Amino acid sequence: MSILKQVAEYLYLKKKDPNAPNTSFVKYMHGINRISIFLFIVALVILAVKLIKR
C-alpha cells in the first residue's frame, strides 16, 4: 500500500508526509522518480492511441 501512496505523492494527488526526511538527495530522487512516472504514463497513452488507430 505504501507504493501507491508514494506514486500519489509523485503525481501530486496526495499531500506529502510532513515527517518524511527532507534532504537534497531525497528531493533529487523524488524528482527523477516523478519524471519517470510521467514518461511511463505518456508512453502508455501513445501505445493506446496507436492500438486504437489500427
pTM (global) more than 0.75: no
Question: What pLDDT score was predicted for residue 15?
Answer: 66
CA dihedral 14, 10, 20, 29 (to 10 degrees): 180
Q: Report how far residue 47's alpha carbon sits from residue 10's, in angstroms, rounded to the nearest whole number.
A: 22
Judge whether residue 49 has pLDDT over 90.
Answer: yes
Amino acid at the residue 10: Y
Each residue's pLDDT tens digit, 16-31 = 667 777 788 878 888 8
Where does the pLDDT of residue 14 fall: very low under 50, low under 70, confident under 90, or very high at 90 and above?
Answer: low
Question: What pLDDT score was predicted for residue 51?
Answer: 96
